[in-house]
Amino acid sequence: MVLIADEIQLSIRFDKQMTSFFEKQTKLNLASAKVVEACGKVWADEAKSITRIEDHVDTGLYINSIGYSTGEPSNPLYELETQTNRSILTIGADVEYAEALEKRFSIFARALDIAKPRMEKVSATQIQKIMRV
């Protein structure tokens, strides 16, 4: 027997356990993206702080270009890409001399080391907030 149809209707019902699983998975993906975003801001804040404290540049252009905008003019490098099972954050400073500063002073590398405890705290906060743990 051959069945040819122009339209097929399908109805699927999930039990409570399966519905809960999908809701948790959606929340988990959102929590992952929020954790990466929050950690990126903490990292950027620490890099801005190091730059100010150590007086690495004469203008605020470098500081305003780190991670996210804190003033004008700036063109921060902060790109968050979320996929189904991971989030990727590209962060940096979008000025022509940023690479030279990083090579000489390791601002972002040191900021990552210093910011780690705060990053762990904001991660836990985001997870608790979204997952309601």
The predicted model scores a pTM of 0.74
- Chain segment 54-93, per-residue pLDDT in tens: 887 756 778 888 887 666 666 777 888 888 778 888 888 8
* Residues linked to residue 87 through DSSP beta bridges, in sequence order: 82
Query: 107-131 and 98-105 are packed helices; what angle lies between their axes, rounded to 10 degrees?
Result: 100
> Domain segments of the chain: what residues?
38-131
User: What whole-number percentage of the chain has pLDDT above 90?
Assistant: 24
Q: Tell me the helices (H) and strands (E) count for the chain, helix number first.
A: 4, 2
Cis peptide before 76 (omega within 30 of 0): no
Residue 52 token pair: 């100010």
